[in-house]
Structure formats: C-alpha cells, structure tokens
Amino acid sequence: MKKVGLRRELGLLQATMFGIGGAIAAGIFVTLGHATSLAGTAVIIALLLCGVINLFTMCSYAELGAALPKAGGEYTFSKIAYGGFVSFLTGWFEWTSNMFYAALNAVGFAYIISYIVPVSSFTAPLIAIAVIAVFTAINVRGVKEVGTSQVVMIGILLTILLLYVWSGFNSAQMTALQISAPTGPLGVIHATAYIFVVYLGAEAIAVAQAEVKDPGKTIPRAILLTGVALIVIYLLIAYVTLSIVPPEILGREASPLCFAAKQTMGEIGMVILVIAGTLAALSSVNTSIMAQSRVAYALSRDGYFPKALLKIHGRFATPHVAVVVGAIFTAVLAATGVINFVGYASDFGFIIGFTLVNLSVIKLRRERPLIERPFKVPFFPYTPILGIATSLFLLAFIEAGVLVLGLELILLAVLAYYIRMVGYCRIRIAFGGISLSLGGFTALTAYLIGTSTIRLNGVDPSTTTAIFYILLLVSIIQVLAGILNVTAEPKLPLKPWAPPPPRRGYKK
C-alpha cells in the first residue's frame, strides 16, 4: 500500500503569500496610533528597525528551511540541533502561539467589521468561531486550497493598500513629513518593541516547508521576499498616514488607517480600508490554523503528542485530526474574548521561537557542517547573534504581565513534557500512592473526630456525626482508587501478528 504523506504543492508565489498574509494582520490597522503616541513621527524609524531585526532571524529561517525542509518549522530545527526538552519547548510555543494568533485575528475580524455592521460583545465571539470553522474546513481540504485562498485574499489586500498609498500621495492634505521623536530615543525603542507584532507570522513559510516545491530554492526566496516586502509596505503606509494626519490626532484613533482613508477618500475610503483590515485578519487566521496543525503533526510524529494527530486524510493528504483539534482550542480561546491574554501570549511565544531558531543555526553550523545548505546566512555568525540579541532586547521592553504569562506557559510545557516522558503507567502508580496516602489520612481524621479526640467547637453533635460518615466514605473511595491504580495490570502494546516460521524438518 502506498504511504500517504504531505504533498509538495506550494510554489514561490503561494509560499510568499503565506508569509505576507501571516504578517499583515489586523495589527497594522490598529497599532500605528499608539506607536505614534510613543515615538511621534519617528515611528517610521521604529518600523524600519523592526524590519531589520526581523530580517536577521528570517535569514536563519531561510538557511534551516532550505536545509531541513520537513514538517514542523522551528520545532524541527530545534529538534535536530538540541533535541529533548529544548525542542519540545520550541514546538510548544510554536503550536500555542499560532493558536493564540489565529484566535486574536478571528476576534479582530469581528471588531473590524463593526465599523460597517452592528456587532455586540455577544455576537463578536460567535462571528470569530464561525470564521475559524470556515478556515478549518479549507485547511482540511488541502494545502493547495489554502494557498489559493491566500493568494486571492492577499492580492486583494495589497491592491487596496496600494490604492490607499496612491490616494494619499495624490491628496491635497498631504504635507511634508518631519521626523521627530518627542520622547527621545527611549520612546522609539518602546515603539519598536510595541509594533514588532506587525512582522510576526511571516515564519509560516517555514512551518509549511514540507509542502513547498523545490524547497532548496523556493523557501529562502519566499522568506527573504516576504521580509523585504513587509518593510516596504509598512514604511509606505506609515509615511502616507503620518503625512495626512498629525501625530497628536493619530495617537487617539482606534484605527488610524481607516481615519486617514476617510480624510482622503471620504466614507468610501473608510469602508475600503475596513475591507482591507478584514482580509488581513482572515489571511492570518488561515495561515495560523495551517501552521499550528503542522507543528502538532510533527510533535505527534515524535511521540510528544497523541498519535491520533498524526493521521493523514486519505483524499486530501492533510493532517485533518491535528487541524480540527487545534481549531477547537482556537475557538475556545476566541470565545473567551480575552484579547489581551491572547495577544501577549502570542508575542512572547514568537520572540522565544526567534531566539531558539538563531541558536539552532549557530549550533548546527558548528556540529553538523556537512549538511547540504542551499542557502547560507550572510555574515555568519554575526547575523544570528544580532537576531538573538535583538529578540531578547525586545523582551526587556515588553510589559511585565507578558513575562508572567510567558513563565506560566513554560511551566505548562514542563508539566506536559514530563507527563509524557514518565508514561501513563508510572503516573497511574504515583496517583495510586497519593490516593492511598490521602485515604489513610482522611480515615485517621474521621477516627479522631468520631472518638472526640478532635472536638469541633460550635458544631452540634448531629453535624459532627455527618462529617464523620462523609470523611469515612471519602477515605474508602480514596483507598479503593489507590488499590486499583497500584495493582492494575499495565497495558502492553499489541504486537502485530506474524505467521510461525516454516518447519525445516526435525530429528528423530
């Protein structure tokens, strides 16, 4: 029987659109205002710095993606370079970050359309869940359908943004832009850390690398094209927006691009930019659902996640179980409406991933120099070192609450990793021992209360008797559960049946 696996169906255009679509999300439509309040018109410098920082790490993605074009992206790189818990932690953050990112953009879509369609706090999560369901179905059908939908959405989005830039340059309200930073260099650094989110998501190309045609050439080209294109797009958008709307006004607007478009093109301009924002959000949901499923597939392949996630659809050749399971978690996150938590967790995870990818490049260059590398990071090792330094530098300027959330996610990763490594039987025996201990302690407490050794002041005798019998019942249940867990026969994996060896004769 022919083995069913992931198909290489993505060309250069589709792979590049994955990267651009993963990065141009709802963020650029809403973050520019606050970033301007931090850095003034020097927010353009912050955007350029973000682009350069992003390129440092994108070069590492390009080298590893071309050399190791297997499903899993950052997780696969870290697995080959480090293995063990480091690789699992990389995959864990890659998986959770993409789910958080998909949920964030699904809810963002609901709030963006509220500019033209009435949306309440109750209906917004329902709209987000519906969006996730639609793109889950698209992802189950196949990566080719995902790539086609991505090309269409990003093509329309880039056309609208180009129209916005063109109308801005031809507007009578366009003025000469003076670069100034009212709060000084520190304000520019804070703005850089805040707005870096608009570049996140471009590494979706690496996650889909097992489905890219001619990966040695296509992956590096798509990643670098994406990195350069994002810098050009964002600088043009920021230049036009700041040349039309003064920074002091822009900083107070919830959607600066929609406000600026209204100044140059009227109400129709605002509607067009709302459409662009919804397309940006949808494209990020699309790529994030695809990315999280491929990471879950890789983690399942290596035994960290349940083997059920490893199933490939016989007709569509997609990891459909991983797609659906991740989509369920994403829908739950979107339904909560806790946008701050979702956004912060996503940012932290992506930055940790950047750091580990750069470390993987350095280690593999040193320990595995004979790996075929169709593309090599220029100015090695300075480029990945700069990628590590700038990523950690950005973490230093993220809010303290974000770091707390990141530490909580690391603790969850440690728990998940060691539960999987210890194994089901040992965990069951451990819980059995805990149940026996608690059962004995509860029985002792019941005995002390029943014999009045422990007196419950202010409690009448009938209530004391009831407490005694409740504790006695709880102790019996705990002891029985402990005995069952400790004495149960371990489930051994079933070995495939094999016919007995042929008889070769015998001696009398």
Domain ranges of the chain: 12-421, 425-487
Overall average pLDDT of the 291-299 stretch: 84
d(C-alpha 249, C-alpha 41), whole Å: 12
Tell me: the pLDDT tens digits for 122-171?
777 888 888 889 888 888 876 666 666 677 888 888 888 888 888 888 87
Looking at the chain, the number of H-run helices and the number of E-run strands are 18, 0
- When pLDDT is averaged across residues 179-187 and rounded to a whole number, the result is 85
| Distances in whole angstroms, Cα of residue 427 to Cα of each of 11, 300, 411, 420 | 46, 20, 18, 9
- Cβ–Cβ < 8 Å for 22, 283: yes
Instruction: Look at residue 47 and tell me whether its pLDDT is greater than 70.
Output: yes
Q: What phi and psi values does residue 3 have, to the nearest 5 degrees?
A: -75, 130
- pLDDT tier, 48 (very low <50, low <70, confident <90, very high otherwise): very high
325 or 151: which leads in pLDDT: 325
State residue 135's pLDDT score: 85
pLDDT for 143: 61
User: Residue 71: phi, psi to the nearest 5?
Assistant: -60, 140
Note whether 109 and 26 are within 8 A (CB): yes
What sign does the dihedral 279-280-286-289 (CA atoms) show?
negative
Whole-Å CA distances, 452 to 375, 441, 480: 79, 17, 26
Band of residue 22 on the pLDDT scale cut at 50, 70, 90: confident
Could you list the beta-strand ranges (E) of 270-326: none
Q: How much is the pLDDT for 103?
A: 85
Q: Hey, which residues does 508 pair with through a beta bridge?
A: none
Helix (H, G, I), strand (E, B) or coil at 224: helix
Of the listed ranges 10-24, 222-236, 256-270, 427-441, the least confidently predicted one is 427-441
pLDDT in tens, 104-132: 888 878 877 776 777 776 777 888 888 88
- pLDDT tens column, 327-361: 898 888 888 755 555 666 677 777 888 888 899 99
Confidence of residue 179 (pLDDT cuts 50, 70, 90): confident
Q: How confident is the model at residue 86 (pLDDT cuts 50, 70, 90)?
A: confident
**Residue 294: what pLDDT?**
82
Confidence class for position 495, pLDDT limits 50, 70, 90:
very low
Q: Residues near 350 by Cβ (< 8 Å), separated by ≥ 6? A: 93, 97, 101, 200, 201, 203
Q: Are 53 and 243 in contact (CB under 8 A)?
A: no
Q: Distance between CA atoms of 93 and 349, rounded to whole angstroms?
A: 5
Spatial separation of the C-alpha atoms in residues 275 and 156, rounded to whole Å: 9
- pLDDT, position 340: 55
Residue 371 binned pLDDT confidence (cut-offs 50, 70, 90): confident
pLDDT class for 59, splitting at 50, 70, 90? Answer: very high
Distances (CA, A) of 287 to 23, 150, 351: 10, 8, 18
Highest mean pLDDT: which of 101-115, 227-241, 472-486? 227-241
| Structure token pair of residue 305 | 């996640």
Task: Give residue 497's pLDDT band: very low, low, confident or very high (50, 70, 90).
Answer: very low
Tokens of 287: 């790529």
Look at residue 279 and tell me whether its pLDDT is greater than 80. Answer: yes
* Cβ–Cβ under 8 Å, residues 128 and 109: yes
pLDDT for the residue 44: 92
- pLDDT of residue 232 exceeding 90, the answer is yes
The pLDDT of residue 52 = 92
User: What pTM was computed for the model?
Assistant: 0.72
Nearest to 205 by CA among 64, 382, 345: 64
Do 253 and 259 contact (CB within 8 A), yes or no? yes
Task: Report the distance separating Cα 25 and Cα 199, nearest Å.
Answer: 9
The superfamily (CATH) of domain 12-421 is Amino acid/polyamine transporter I (1.20.1740.10)
pLDDT of residue 492: 45
pLDDT digits (tens, 9 = 90+) for 384-423: 999 999 888 877 777 666 677 777 778 878 777 777 766 6
Instruction: Extract the tokens encoding 451.
Output: 């014999």
Across the range 215-223, mean pLDDT stands at 84
For residues 205 and 230, the model is more confident at 230
User: How much is the average pLDDT of 74-103?
Assistant: 84
Q: What is the mean pLDDT of residues 205-210?
A: 69
Write down the mean pLDDT value for the chain.
Answer: 79
Query: Is the model's pLDDT at 79 over the cut of 90?
Result: no
Per the model's pLDDT, the better-predicted residue between 31 and 456 turns out to be: 31
Q: How far apart are CA 180 and CA 165, in angstroms?
A: 22
- 452 dihedral zone (left: phi>0; alpha: psi -120 to 50; beta): left
Higher pLDDT, 212 or 268: 268
